[in-house]
Amino acid sequence: MTRDCHMVWDDCLRTLKKSVNPQAFKTWFEPIRPVQLEQDVLTIQVPNKFFYEWLEENYVEILKKSIRQELGERGRLQYHIPDQSNTGLNKPLLPKTSTPQPRPGNSKPSAENDNEPVPGYFDAENIKNPFIIPGIRRVKVDPQLNTSYTFDNFIEGDCNRLARNAGLAIAKKPGGTAFNPLVVFGEVGLGKTHLAQAIGNEIVKNFENKVVLYVSAEKFTNQIIQAIKNNSVNDFVNFYQMLDVLIIDDIQFLSAKLKTQEIFFHIFNQLHQNGRQIILTSDRAPKDLEGIEDRLISRFKWGLSADLLAPDLETRMAILDSKIGDEGMAIPKDVLEFICYNIKNNIRELEGVMISLLAQATLIRRDIDLDLAKEVIRNFVTTINKEITVEFIQQLVAEHFNVSVDKLHHETRKRNVVIARQLSMYLAKKMTNKSLKTIGENFGGRDHSTVIYSCKAVQDMMDTDMIFKDTVAELEKKIKMSLND
Ligand code: ADP
Ligand code: MG
């Protein structure tokens, strides 16, 4: 049987799925459609040019590999990009209920507008009269951005790579990428607001004429309430429809606010249909938003939903290091490590510790060292192991060697259990002030000579095996650093 393009592509997808993470797979590979297979050339259709560029930039090697695997060494890939004018993105979604204002800004190539003076200034804070003054062709909107949130100080890590890169792509071509809307979601304190604002700031920097607005969902709701009161909903809608970039923060706040959702739905459709960029943040994935109408949720899924995860240790250290640098301060590396080991889930908390630490050091004129950091951190973490215990060491070592703590107490000759047991004894001797006798008792009632023997055995292994020595050092550090595990 000869294989057609679908079969070949399905097989490629199977390989690709193994080498890219699930979210990237869903974003970049699922939307691709195979269209033709001619000899060794497989043609695939991608949604737009940007998509193609992204694939070429980021996935070319694994694509090549999978194609060769399926079609042999001469196998090649060709892209097909459909005509953008009928991608379906521009289909009207709603009958118009109000006439859009004449557009300010630069949505069309508008040389006539470019040198015009700026006749009006719109301040979105001013709810009493937040709307365009009729007859004015070009208004200036205060984007309401906090300029200290930038891409430069938004440190990249595995936890935010997709969202950050999508944001950068949007900032280059607002409304012109597949990421419309971009929904950034994640738990509190992981950088949603920072990233959303960084995108806004970057667009303002790159495109002088684009009208950008950042608004919290709460403020957006309040403006609607005011507009209803003042009988000016149409003006409100018109104002929002002339934006080039709309950023709404914390859309979970719209939950159960039906009137607000209805108006937002309308604005969303108008903006999207006109190729304007929409950026939303949420504390949970769109599908998990409760009290938000299905028709809105389905629109949120049109673009890209990218989550922010808790950063790993290296990223936390990079973030903290950069923040401390911004303050014009420096702290010792072991203190930095200690803080990042202990504050894991929330970057805002990480900053909190840093600020307290800097404040304490200045106020009481003390050097920032590990002891001071420990004092400060106790206010931030709830459960603390005040001292290192034998049980705690057993737990960490057992975990590392993938054996149960229980096994350390019993007679087993299995090599990894024996090593885990000996190493736990060695670390207990080194890191607690327990006697040899007490340590032995903690290991199923062994006597002190067994502990001495174990310590010697570990020392010998460390002298001969560098990898083992590193493992010991790593575990020792982990034990020393963990206050709250
Ligand atoms: P959220 O909106 O998700 O609750 P924020 O955007 O307010 O979180 O971020 C909390 C704090 O953490 C902010 O001060 C922000 O600057 C900082 N932060 C978050 N992620 C990063 C990052 N990747 N690099 C640098 N700072 C970050
Ligand atoms: Mg926020």
Could you tell me the residue ranges of all domains in the chain?
5-92, 161-308, 313-384, 390-484
Give me the architecture of the 390-484 domain, per CATH. Orthogonal Bundle (1.10)
Question: Does position 134 have pLDDT exceeding 80, yes or no?
Answer: no
Closest C-alpha among 381, 333, 334, 331 to residue 359? 331
Task: Report how far ligand 1's centroid is from the alpha carbon of 52 (Å).
Answer: 31
In the block, which residue shows the tokens 């292994």? 461
- Residue with the smallest CA separation from ligand 1 atom 14 is 348
pLDDT digits (tens, 9 = 90+) for 209-239: 899 999 999 999 999 999 999 999 998 999 9
Output 115 or 229, whichever has higher pLDDT.
Answer: 229
In the sheet that 76-80 helps form, which strands lie side by side, from edge to edge?
33-38, 41-45, 76-80
Question: Does position 132 have pLDDT exceeding 80, yes or no?
Answer: no
The secondary structure of residue 44, as a DSSP letter, is E
Task: Kindly report the number of other CB atoms within 10 A of residue 29's CB atom.
Answer: 19
Give me the architecture of the 5-92 domain, per CATH. 2-Layer Sandwich (3.30)
Kindly state if the Cβ of 201 falls inside 6 Å of ligand 1.
no
Task: Report how far ligand 2's centroid is from the alpha carbon of 65 (Å).
Answer: 41
Kindly state if the Cβ of 155 falls inside 6 Å of ligand 1.
yes
Instruction: Please report which confidence band the pLDDT of residue 105 belongs to, taking 50, 70 and 90 as the band edges.
Output: very low
Output phi, psi for 44, to 5 deg. -120, 145
- The SS3 call for residue 453 is helix
Ligand nearest to the CA of 322: 1
pLDDT value, residue 50: 65
Mean pLDDT of the chain: 83
Distance separating alpha carbons of residues 404 and 408, to the nearest angstrom: 7
Q: Which two tokens stand for residue 301?
A: 């899924």
Distance separating alpha carbons of residues 180 and 3, to the nearest angstrom: 36
pLDDT value, residue 83: 62
Task: Report how far ligand 2's centroid is from the alpha carbon of 32 (Å).
Answer: 33
Task: Report how far ligand 2's centroid is from the alpha carbon of 346 (Å).
Answer: 12
CATH fold of the domain at 313-384: Helicase, Ruva Protein; domain 3 (1.10.8)
CATH class of 161-308: alpha beta
Instruction: Give the atom of ligand 1 at the shortest distance from the alpha carbon of 322.
Output: 25
Distance separating alpha carbons of residues 368 and 245, to the nearest angstrom: 44
Question: Does position 365 have pLDDT exceeding 50, yes or no?
Answer: yes
Please tell me the total number of residues recorded for the chain in this structure.
485
Kindly state if the Cβ of 348 falls inside 6 Å of ligand 1.
yes
- In 296-441, the DSSP E strands lie at 304-307
Angle of the 448-464 helix axis to the 466-481 helix axis, nearest 10:
120
Task: Report how far ligand 2's centroid is from the alpha carbon of 27 (Å).
Answer: 24
pLDDT digits (tens, 9 = 90+) for 427-479: 999 988 889 999 999 999 999 999 999 999 999 999 999 999 999 999 988 88
Kindly state if the Cβ of 351 falls inside 6 Å of ligand 1.
yes
